[in-house]
Amino acid sequence: MDATDRAQRLKLDTRLAILDNITALNRQRKAAIQAGNAGQMNAIQDSINAQHDQLDDLSFISLKTLEDSPAVKKTLTKLRGAADKLEDEADNIKTVADALQKAARIIDQTAKIITELRALAPV
């Protein structure tokens, strides 16, 4: 698989990982609603909005022809590890408290992947 295909696959997997995290956060947002806790609900909703923005950012990154260089391959390997970790994060959000504590870290992890992917995209 060449660098462009690997990057496209990585982009797709990152989008799916973000969606998994959004699903996990939404479950806890709904729990906050049922508990009548508007503060928690709003805090989780803010995190979901941030993840939605990241999802759209990722959709608009155009990964056309990437150079098949060792540097690009190394970056993609590193990002693959980060995307795999991001995918696991959704399983760790089981309570409203988890959602409130872990959302910021997830958003940060996602932002790093997007930034590096964008840097790979030819200008």
Partner 1 sequence: MCLIRYQKPSRAALLIICFALGACSPYVYKDEIATFDQGVDASVQAFQSLMPQYTAWATEQRDDELLRGFASNQIKPSVSDGCERLRGKYLSRFAKSGASAGDFLTADEYAACRVTPAPENDPDKGLPNLTALGMALKSYAAGLVALTNAEDEAAVQSAFGQLNTSAKTLLASVNEKLSEKNQATFDAVGALVYQVGLTYLRQRRFNALKQAVNDNDQVVGRAADLLAEGALNIYDATLTAKKAALNQAENKAVSVTAGDFVTVWSNIDKARDAYVKAFQDSPIYAFANIKATHTALRDSVNDPANRAQLNVLYENAVALTKAAEAALEAVRSDDGGGS
Q: Which residues of this chain interact with partner 1, rule CB under 8 A?
A: 12, 15-16, 19-20, 22-23, 26-27, 29-30, 32-34, 36-38, 41-42, 45, 48-49, 52, 55-56, 59-60, 64-65
Q: Which is nearer to partner 1, 59 or 101 (CB)?
A: 59
Q: Which is nearer to partner 1, 20 or 98 (CB)?
A: 20
Distance from C-alpha of 29 to C-alpha of 11, rounded to nearest angstrom: 26
CA 48 from centroid of its chain's CA atoms: 11
Q: Which long-range contacts (CB under 8 A, 24 or more apart) does 16-20 make?
A: 16/87, 17/83, 17/86, 17/87, 17/89, 17/90, 18/51, 18/54, 18/55, 18/58, 18/86, 18/110, 19/55, 20/87, 20/90
Q: How far is the CB of 50 from partner 1 (least distance, A)?
A: 12
Residue with tokens 């696959």: 9
Q: Which is nearer to partner 1, 48 or 76 (CB)?
A: 48
Q: Which is nearer to partner 1, 38 or 97 (CB)?
A: 38
Q: How far is the CB of 46 from partner 1 (least distance, A)?
A: 11
Q: How far is the CB of 31 from partner 1 (least distance, A)?
A: 10
Instruction: From 68, 58, 59, select the one nearest 4 (Cα to Cα).
Output: 68
Q: How far is the CB of 98 from partner 1 (least distance, A)?
A: 17
